[in-house]
């Protein structure tokens, strides 16, 4: 069965820290995505990647960057964490023509 693994379920970081959120999928999917979920705002796309080393900005890329050096791994980077980046972060992967498989999410708190 399809599996998307996010490295941490809960993280607490300090303002100004550089934060790495890791996501690994085991399905040889081309497309991978990072979303954040906030109450009342739904799922908002931060970045996505449709191949190794390829990335595109989503709807809210400010304050974030991504890295995709290998097909199975898609990393989200908070260059300098701020309190308004406290959120639930969700990684997903997708084979073209089918829906997403999501990871379990990372609840990030920036203090």
Partner 1 sequence: DQQVKQNSPSLSVQEGRISILNCDYTNSMFDYFLWYKKYPAEGPTFLISISSIKDKNEDGRFTVFLNKSAKHLSLHIVPSQPGDSAVYFCAASAPLSQGGSEKLVFGKGTKLTVNP
Kindly list the residues in this chain that would bind partner 1 in the complex (CB under 8 A).
4, 6, 9, 30-31, 33, 35, 37, 40-43, 45, 48, 50, 56, 58, 88, 90, 92, 94, 96-97, 99-105, 107
Looking at residue 26, what DSSP letter applies? S
Q: How far apart are CA 48 and CA 33, in angstroms?
A: 4
The pairing of beta strand 73-78 with beta strand 54-57: unpaired
Beta carbon of residue 92, minimum distance to partner 1 (angstroms, whole number) = 8
Contact partners, residue 29, CB within 8 Å, separation at least 6? 71, 93, 94, 95
Residue 85 vs 105, nearer CB to partner 1 = 105
Residue 13 vs 44, nearer CB to partner 1 = 44
Beta carbon of residue 43, minimum distance to partner 1 (angstroms, whole number) = 4
Residues in the chain: 111
Residue 10 vs 15, nearer CB to partner 1 = 10
Residue 48 tokens, joined: 């996505």
Alpha carbon distances (Å) from 66 to 2, 41, 69: 23, 22, 10
Beta carbon of residue 16, minimum distance to partner 1 (angstroms, whole number) = 26
Residue 50 vs 77, nearer CB to partner 1 = 50
Beta carbon of residue 90, minimum distance to partner 1 (angstroms, whole number) = 5
**Rg of the chain on CA atoms, in Å:** 13
């Amino acid at each position: 069965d399809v599996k998307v693994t996010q490295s941490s379920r809960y993280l607490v970081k300090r303002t100004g820290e550089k934060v790495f959120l890791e996501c690994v999928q085991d399905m040889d999917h081309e497309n991978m995505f990072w979303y954040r979920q906030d109450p009342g705002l739904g799922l908002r796309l931060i970045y996505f990647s449709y191949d190794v080393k390829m990335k595109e900005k989503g709807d809210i890329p400010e304050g974030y960057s991504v890295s995709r050096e290998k097909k199975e791994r898609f990393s989200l980077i908070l260059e300098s964490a701020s309190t308004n980046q406290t959120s639930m972060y969700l990684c997903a992967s997708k084979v073209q023509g089918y829906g997403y498989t999501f990871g379990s999410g990372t609840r990030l708190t920036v203090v």
